[in-house]
Amino acid sequence: MEALQLSERLPNDEQRVLFSGRAQDHIRRSAERAAKFEANETERHRRLTFGTSALRERQRAAELLLEGDAEGANDALEASRSFVRLSMVGKSPEEQAATELALSSGYHGQLFQAKLSENPIAAQAYLADNRDAIDPGVFEPSMLRPLKSSINDAAQIS
């Protein structure tokens, strides 16, 4: 509306047409930028929501398993995997696989830590059984050192 008022002040039709074309182009680009920003924010929110839900379900799965509810834990873990898949729509298969491995590593790491404080030998067996589901970058530093330390502590107590 303001552009129309400005164009009326121009001295001839040619300038008004040129001004109107530039104003419309500017308005179109602004609308495109706003739409792109909105789409990016919507996508970011979607990924964040599904990612957070995946982590919560993973946590719940580990808690259920530690409480002895294996069926509930499996359901929660499957829900977690579903949320991961939803959060990764449009990402490459490599990125999806890396995210699923990180989710699995966190799950097994949480269970390993709980077992480690109770029984280092059981934790060692759990780790051996689930090694393939744990990212090697997580497996080596965060699990083997505490395991060795706990086993050594247990051996010294005996």
pLDDT 10s digits, 135-147: 877 666 555 566 6
Q: Which residue has the tokens 């799950």?
A: 107
CA 94, distance to chain mean position in Å, is 14
- Mean pLDDT for 142-154 is 58
Residue 50 near residue 87 (C-beta atoms within 8 A)? yes
pLDDT at 137: 76
- Helix boundaries (H) for 9-92: 13-66, 70-87
Query: Nearest 5 degrees, angle CA 93-CA 98-CA 103?
Result: 125
The pTM for the full model equals: 0.62
Between the two ends of the chain, the Cα-to-Cα distance in Å is: 86
Tell me which residue of 80, 33, 87 sits closest to 56, measured CA to CA: 80
All structural domains of the chain with their residue ranges: 1-90, 93-158
Select the more confidently predicted residue: 130 or 137.
130
| Nearest 10 degrees: Cα torsion 65, 136, 86, 67 | 10
- List, for residues 58-113, the tens digit of each pLDDT value: 999 999 988 989 899 999 999 998 988 888 888 898 988 888 888 888 888 888 88
Q: Which of 7-11, 34-38, 112-116 has the lowest mean pLDDT?
A: 7-11
Q: What is the pLDDT of residue 7?
A: 63
